[in-house]
Amino acid sequence: MARAAPSAGGRALDIALAADRDKALALVGDSREITPAILSRLDRYVALLLRWQATTNLVAPSTLSELWTRHVADSLQLVPLALNARHWVDLGSGGGFPGLVIACMLADTEGATVHLVESNLKKAAFLREAARVVAVPAKVHAVRIEDFVDRFHEPVEIVTARALASLENLIESAYPLLKRGTEALFLKGRDVEVELTAASKCWSIDAELIPSVTDSSGRIVRVRSVVPSVPGSTD
Between CA 17 and CA 183 the distance in angstroms is 33
Beta strands in the chain (DSSP E): 87-91, 113-117, 138-141, 158-162, 183-188, 203-211, 219-228
Mean pLDDT of 45-62: 94
Between CA 203 and CA 227 the distance in angstroms is 6
Judge whether residue 6 has pLDDT over 50: no
Query: In whole numbers, what is the pLDDT of the chain averaged over residues?
Result: 91
Q: What is the second-level CATH architecture of the domain 69-228?
A: 3-Layer(aba) Sandwich (3.40)
Residue type (1 letter), 8: A
* Res. 80 pLDDT band, cuts 50 70 90: very high
| Cβ–Cβ under 8 Å, residues 86 and 109 | yes
User: In a 10 Å sphere around its CB, with 0-12 CB exposed, 13-18 middle and 19+ buried, how is residue 64 labelled?
Assistant: buried
Phi first, then psi, for residue 44 (nearest 5°) are -65, -40
Q: What percent of the chain has pLDDT over 70?
A: 93
> Shortest CA distance to 96 belongs to which of 63, 129, 61, 65?
129
Distances from the Cα of 105 to the Cαs of 93, 144, 155, in angstroms?
A: 16, 26, 19
DSSP letter assigned to residue 80: G
| Cβ–Cβ under 8 Å, residues 74 and 162 | yes
Judge whether residue 216 has pLDDT over 50: yes
Q: What percent of the chain has pLDDT over 90?
A: 84
* Res. 3 pLDDT band, cuts 50 70 90: very low
pLDDT value at position 163? 85
DSSP letter assigned to residue 24: H
* Res. 12 pLDDT band, cuts 50 70 90: confident
Of the ranges 33-37, 106-110, 165-169, 200-204, which one carries the lowest mean pLDDT score?
A: 33-37
Pairing assessment for the beta strands 138-141 and 113-117 based on DSSP bridges: parallel
Between CA 9 and CA 12 the distance in angstroms is 8
Judge whether residue 49 has pLDDT over 90: yes
Judge whether residue 8 has pLDDT over 90: no
Structural domain spans, the chain: 69-228
DSSP structure string for 150-191: HH--S--SEEEEESSS-HHHHHHHHHHHHTTT-EEEEEE-TT
Answer positive or negative: Cα dihedral of 93, 95, 97, 100: positive
